[in-house]
Amino acid sequence: MTRLFSASRSRNRTLAAAMLMTCLSTTGLIVAAVDDPPAPPTAPEPNAPPPQSDPGKTDSKKIDPTKPLPFEILRRSPKGLLVIPVQVEGQRFEVELAANDTSRRRGLGGRTRLLPGTGMLFVHTDDEIRGYWMYDCLIDIDVAFLDQKGRIVAMHRMKREAPRRASEYQDMYQRRLKRYTSLRPARYALELPPGELTRLKLQIGQTIHLPKSELDKLAR
């Protein structure tokens, strides 16, 4: 019985030692788990690019109103015309260029809207007294005529005309359209959405700074 008892005690000691080692091992795992530094946080996603600001709403502090914006072709319009940025009284507009006979004759005819911050810049090859009309124009348009230095020589708030009637001859339609003249020789004409002349407080003699050398090279 003594040998058996001794063996049993030995087995008990062995079992107790094993349990103690297991406990210590488990405790070590728990301590290790507690002491492990936390996993680094997931890196934040890169900031999304800032949304493009609406033309015409650019912060005026970022634009020098005494200098033209750098000449830059932004894209082609749905009508196939080049679009460039210009600044008027420190505010940015994206304007289509009408720089040849076809685009100048067409102008904004047939358009049903002119979005804020957009417009059309007519570029002529020389300086003459210009006369514009609202042929086939469906919206009101503000226009400023500019001389070769970009100075405003005339401004008009042009009103849309009644569409040509089915029974109306072409020459009859043209005769009833009001003419808006530059009064003095002009090389450029800037057409903007209605109300912009008033909002921008433009006056005769003010200068609209344009990239004139690049524009004159495009005129045909």
pLDDT, position 182: 98
Class of the 60-218 domain?
Answer: mainly beta
Please report, for the chain, the start and end positions of each structural domain, with discontinuous segments joined by +.
60-218
pLDDT, position 42: 44
**Residue 129 phi, psi dihedral angles, 5° rounding:** -75, 120
Is the pLDDT reported for residue 98 higher than 50? yes
Q: What is the pLDDT of residues 54-76, one digit of tens each?
A: 555 544 457 898 899 999 999 99
Residue 133 C-alpha from the chain's centroid: 29
**Residue 184 phi, psi dihedral angles, 5° rounding:** -130, 165
Is residue 166 within 8 Å of 99, Cβ to Cβ? no
Tokens 């030995």 label which residue?
10
Q: Which residues sit opposite 84 in a β-bridge? A: 95
Pairwise CA distance, residues 183 & 179, whole Å:
11
How would residue 139 be classed by pLDDT, with cut points 50, 70 and 90? very high
Q: For residue 177, what are its two tokens? A: 């359209």
